[in-house]
Amino acid sequence: MARIRATENAVEIMLRKELWRRGYRYRKNDKSVFGKPDIVMKSRKVAIFCDSKFWHGIEYLKDGKLPATNTAFWREKLTKNINRDKLVNRTLRKEGWTVIRLYDKNIRKDAAKCADKIENKMVKKQCP
């Protein structure tokens, strides 16, 4: 657990490098934006989160998978993480932000495809 990084992890760096290569400029882990997104484009009001399927409860929601030991702790932990993510999404959208959540496995598999998704959402936001 000690080796898991909240910021500057390999997945974030892969996505940021791809966005930078495409000419997008951003801020990392901007504390002034609610939820402290991993990548923030303030001028476009885009908040990007690079989430882990485990820590953000995707496998738990989908299949009910929990670690075999200390299941009560993990159930509570993942439920809190899921609820926090929903609150962050709701709050940012209410403030006019486009919220994009990408998962680590998808970014590792194809960072360019993830960057395409981000571009598509930004274009949709600009067009009425």
| 92 inside domain | yes
Q: Is the pLDDT of residue 46 over 70?
A: yes
Let me know if residue 43 belongs to a domain. Answer: yes
Q: What is the pLDDT of residue 71?
A: 83
CA nearest neighbour of 14 among 86, 111, 85: 111
Q: Would you say residue 68 has pLDDT above 90? A: no
Confidence of residue 7 (pLDDT cuts 50, 70, 90): low
- Does 2 map to a domain? no
Q: Is residue 4 part of a domain?
A: no
Instruction: Give residue 61's domain range.
Output: 10-126
Query: Is residue 88 assigned to a domain?
Result: yes
Q: Is 54 helix (H, G, I), strand (E, B) or coil?
A: coil
Q: Quick check: helix, strand or coil at residue 27?
A: strand
What pLDDT does residue 3 have? 53
List, for residues 8-24, the tens digit of each pLDDT value: 778 999 999 999 999 99
Q: Per the structure, how many domains does the chain have?
A: 1
Is residue 38 within 8 A of residue 7, CB to CB? The reply is: yes
Nearest of 105, 117, 112 to residue 10 by alpha carbon: 105
